[in-house]
Amino acid sequence: MKAMLCRKYGPPESLVLEELPDLDPGPGELVVRVHAAAVNFPDVLLMSGDYQVKVPPPFAPGSEFAGEVLATGDGVARRVGDRVAGSTMVGAFAEQVRLAAAAVTPIPDGVDYAHAAAFGVSYRTAYHCLRSVAQIEPDDWVVVLGAAGGVGLAAVDLAVGMNARVIAAASTPEKLELCLRRGATATVDYHRERLRDRIREITGTGADVVLDPVGGPYSEPALRALGRGGKFITLGYAAGSIPSIPLNLVLLKGINVEGMEIRTFMGDHPQEAARDLQELQGMLASGAVSPHIGARFPLSDAALALRHVADRKALGKVIIDIG
């Protein structure tokens, strides 16, 4: 099988395409023939050695995929040929991936491999935030930073579906136009407008919820734009720096600041995670939500796909087509 390998920590351009032995499943495992993999910002951090969890090289990056079951180990109920999607820490940028059978879910009829791969991590992250952490209500003002990225646009889609009023914040007119097409109520160009002032102008009394997968210089003004008792959810730091928040802002407004990381959320809150996943699968199967795929690359160009995401050029999800 072919795989894009990270031989040592470095930038996306250090990936190399190699031929590796086919995989064999162990007990409780299966091997999936990968047809599509999605690119996420943590893939870039794992390659550079800057992620919260270190994976020693060599490894193939890639955390979410869709394909068909190629082989099964003892005790696995799924059958060869089943269409499945799943997530793993690494390994998806390859023609085959091996993982626990419990880590995959069936792909609904009518959903292709690319959209199944694009749906997993981003939509689960966004839905856990909105449904279980922020517990948004209809008509809440929900601010989404980095709103045209993978998690950001998923959050826009889902919050609109939950009847919230969404303020999409992003860095270019093209990104903001996409968010409006996906149902956002209003937009903020945080390269050209003052984020705090514009949010306050739109909402009147301040936002109810901020979802922040970006960090950097945008977190504090978004926090300042919350109304009393508002909720600020930190998800990641795509801007490249981890912000420091003046705690007096939290005190004076009674703001709730929470972090959400999908890997630990699923372990810490298994009942909510299972409920959210079941609800999401229903939305995908019914067509109520469908990921926006903004760019596609072949496996041999996985480095270009990672660079596209690292440079914050992505509109929605970036997909690697593997065959």
pLDDT at 241: 84
pLDDT at 322: 96
Whether residue 221 contacts residue 159, with contact meaning beta carbons closer than 8 Å, is answered with: no
Percent residues over pLDDT 70 in the chain: 100
Domain 2-107+292-321 sits in CATH 3.90.180.10: yes
The interaxial angle of helices 302-310 and 41-48, nearest 10 deg, is 100
Percent residues over pLDDT 90 in the chain: 85
pLDDT tens per residue, range 221-271: 999 999 999 999 999 888 778 899 899 999 999 999 999 988 788 888 999
For 287, list phi and psi in degrees, rounded to 5: 85, 10
Does this chain's domain 2-107+292-321 share its CATH topology with 125-260?
A: no
CA distance 208 to 71: 48
DSSP per residue, 258-296: EE--HHHHHHH-HHHHHHHHHHHHHHHHHTS----EEEE
DSSP per residue, 111-141: --HHHHHHHHHHHHHHHIIIIIIS---TT-E
Domain 125-260 sits in CATH 3.40.50.720: yes
pLDDT tens per residue, range 284-314: 999 999 999 999 999 999 999 999 999 988 8
pLDDT tens per residue, range 105-162: 999 999 999 999 999 889 999 999 999 999 999 999 999 999 999 999 999 999 999 9
Domain assignments of the chain as residue spans, ordered by start: 2-107+292-321, 125-260
pTM of the prediction? Answer: 0.88
Mean pLDDT of the chain: 94
CA distance 91 to 37: 10
